[in-house]
Structure 1
Amino acid sequence: MNTKLTLTVDKAIIDRAKSYAKNTGRSLSQLIENYLITLTQESSQNELSPKLKKIVGAVKLPKDFDEKKELRAVLESKHL
């Protein structure tokens, strides 16, 4: 069931997000929904993604490394 959501976001960010959505063949609603799904997925904070598991041992990460936090920061700096 879809529900309408009203957000208040800086116009420049909305314009860039719309452009990104158009260039990737998706709607802004799809982008936001996918982000919210990723953000709210229930999984262990200590569980590593398959991509990260492949390089375990090749890279020394701090014990308190938060993969989701780091990924979110990179994606936000790249796309917003």
Structure 2
Amino acid sequence: MRIQVLRLPLYELGGVSEEPFALIVDQAPPEGDGWSMPALAVFAEQIGARGVWVTPQTVEIVDQFPPEIVDHVPFDDPVTEAIDDGG
């Protein structure tokens, strides 16, 4: 069983940049080896992963290092908008 990190595109929300990621668990044996699906989901959530994919197949992450900045539209900060609108 291998655990790999799949980096997702960088994005900005309210002036804070974040680089999300997902965990890819490949070559996973059937449950019963101590790494159950719920345990992996909890682990992924605890470390901040956006999700986890578990498969018995072999998965090769082709581009482990995507561009640092991806063209995106920054989201406005909802708190700032509420203050600007008098709310």
TM-score, normalised to structure 1's length? 0.30
Structure whose residues are more often strand by fraction: 2
Greater share of helix: 1
Structure having the higher Rg: 2
Structure with greater contact order relative to length (CA < 8 Å, sep ≥ 6): 1
